Each structure stands twice: as C-alpha cells, then as structure tokens.
Structure 1
C-alpha cells in the first residue's frame, strides 16, 4: 500500500489523507468517524464490529500507520465500505456524507479507476449473509414466537409460518449465482 501525497479528498472540514491499494481509494476509520461527526473513531469501530459479516476482505483491512505515538494499527475502509459504514451511522452529517462518497465513486468509475463490473463473489457473500440472518429469525420464530402466539390464540402465527422459510428461496438464488459465476461453494458463515 502506498500513501498518496499532495492529494486529498475533502468533505466539509475533514481532509482525508487517503491511500491507494489495488486500484481503490482507502480512507482511515478515524477520518470517516470525524467526517460523520463522531467525537472519536470508537463509534466507527462499534458500527463495524456489529456489522462485520457484511464486509468482505476487499472492503476493509488493518494497516500500520505512523502517528505521533509511533507505529499503530489503523482500520482502513474502501470507498464502498465507507458508504456501508455510513448507512449504519445516525449522525446529522450521514446523509450528506453518503452523497459525497457516491460522487467520489462515480468520479472514480468515470476516470476508469474502478471496475464497475458485476462482482459475483460479493453478491454471493451478501446473499449468504442474508440467509444467515433469515435462518436466525426463522429459528427464533419456530422456537419462541410461534409457540407463544399460538398459545395466545393469535392469528399472526398462521399468517407468518410460510413467510419465514424464505431461506429456501435465498439458497436457490445463491446456487444460481454460484453456477453463473463459476465460483463454487462460497460460504461465509
């Protein structure tokens, strides 16, 4: 990874000292947090940790950076993952930051710096994550909510029973994407 000198991205009062790696622009988590209006980067790390299963290795990583206190580990986010972090942020600046990141991504695509091709692996990963969440919801439904609602005589239990078995459809889509992409056995549990 090399640092880009004399180049910066600016969002309001945050000046990103971005890096480039693998043809992508990467932002420091601390600067993303600052741009979103958080007091420190702990909020960004909490958001990331709560939703880590939604990020691929191509979206985030930890690098060594030089700080006044010496070399330290710092989390980096690609523009795509900075946008995802922002989707979970609840600050007054979040909406504007989302637009800004998308404008930067559009500019990168227009300049040929980003390959906008369909990324089967990423989409299969996202389908796997959705399936994991659906399976958890289905298990909670079957083991806790359905029996409780039936005991109360609620008609909701009957209406919901087929709705929470959507994982079968998700698995079908996942299999189709694996066949179409030639990527077999992509599992992210």
Structure 2
C-alpha cells in the first residue's frame, strides 16, 4: 500500500489482504503524538463497546527472524472509521486535525466524491451548465452528508451556505436585464409610414 501523510507523519497502512486501509495501534500512537501505544490501547478498552467489527479487528502477524525462528503476535487494527473514533476521545492537540483528515480519507476510500463548488472554475461554464453543477453538488451533498446518522451534518450546513452563495452569484451572472426599447410596430404596418 501507498504511504499516507498526515502533517509530518508518514504511515504505510497495514495490508490486511482486503484492499482496505487499516491502521495499527502503533500508527495511531504516532499520528496522535502519544509517547507509546499504551494510550491508544487504554482508549480502545475504555470504549470497546462502541466499536463494530468493521472498525477494528485483530490479526496474527509473524516475524521471521533467523535468531528466534518464527515468532507471532496479535496486532489490533483500526479502519479509518475506528481510527476516527479513537481520535474523537483522544485529547492530544492534533486529534481535531486527525479527525478531519480521517473523514476525508474515509470519503475517498468509500468512493464517494461530493466535489466542491469553486467560483474560479464556474466562470468557464455556460449558464445552464452552471445551474446543473450546483444542482449535482446539492444532490450529492444531501445524499452523503445530509442523511440522519451520517456524522457529517456540520459539513452539510456549510455545503448549504455555499450552495446559496454560489446560486446567488450565478443568478447575477446569467440573468441579464433587457432594456426597454419602446414600442415596436405591428408586422402589418409599414415602418416608413409611421
């Protein structure tokens, strides 16, 4: 697996053979800037009942050392969602930033791409396309961030504000006022006669 970078920490996720991202307790201790892994284990055991099997698991890894033969040990793994839960109850200064990073990582891993509305990119689009982009963003935001229990309702509120602001701007750009040009003669009338 490719290394992931959070702040000045580079972590290669554990390959559990299922193609998903898994972090070890050692990874979490490093990312949360704990001195050792004991703090992560304490947090896990205090909140054990909040974790599902999709959030954490144990695997046995072997160390093929020439001196000691084949040793094996159990390692606890955490999915990005499980890692986020550890980050929620952690009180280190970087925990908040880690939680944000993990939500972005979870969104990428799940294949959900809500996208973003950037004014600079919108100026290159035609009128109807502008409205279509806003509508598509609104639907994705509602689907992935606006459902009960999604845990992303704060982001949904920011999305709604962005949608309102961008819609107002797009309406200003796409609605033009046609000046009053006076009365036009009927098609039957001769314009020269008037």
Q: TM-score, normalised by structure 1?
A: 0.51
Partner residue in 2 for 1:36:
32
Distance of 1:65 and 1:8 partners within structure 2:
20
Distance 1:96 1:44 in 2: 17
Q: Which residue does 2:86 correspond to in 1?
A: 85
Structure 1 residues without counterparts, runs of 5 or longer: 118-122, 124-189
Q: Is the 8 A contact 1:47 1:85 kept in 2?
A: yes
Establish whether residue 103 from structure 1 lines up as the match of residue 99 from structure 2: no
Which is bigger in relative contact order (C-alpha 8 A, separation at least 6)?
1
Q: State the SS of the aligned residue for 1:73.
A: strand
User: Counterpart in 2 of 1:75?
Assistant: 76
Structure 1 counterpart of 2:22: 26
**2 CA distance for matches of 1:14 and 1:65?**
23
User: Match for residue 11 of structure 1?
Assistant: 6
Shift of 1:24: 2.8
C-alpha deviation, 1:50, in angstroms: 0.3
User: Cα offset for 1:29?
Assistant: 1.0
- Cα 1:22–1:15 shift into 2, 3 Å: same
Find the residue that maps to 2:22 and give its secondary structure: strand
Residue 51 of structure 2 is aligned to residue 55 of structure 1? yes
Which has the larger share of helix?
1
Give the length in aligned residue pairs.
110
Quote how far apart the aligned CAs of 1:12 are.
2.0
- The alpha carbon displacement at 1:33 in A equals 1.1
Secondary structure of 2:61's match? strand
> 1: distance between equivalents of 2:39 and 2:77?
14
Distance in 2, Cα, partners of 1:64 & 1:20 = 10
Q: Output the TM-score relative to the length of structure 2.
A: 0.50
Which residue matches 2:177?
A: none
Instruction: Using the TM superposition, give the Cα deviation of residue 9 of structure 1 relative to its aligned residue in structure 2, in angstroms.
Output: 1.1
CA distance in 2, matches of 1:15, 1:79: 15
1:22 offset after TM fit, Å? 4.3
Could you tell me how far apart the structure 2 residues matched to 1:62 and 1:41 are?
Answer: 15
Q: Distance in 2 between matches of 1:12 and 1:63?
A: 28
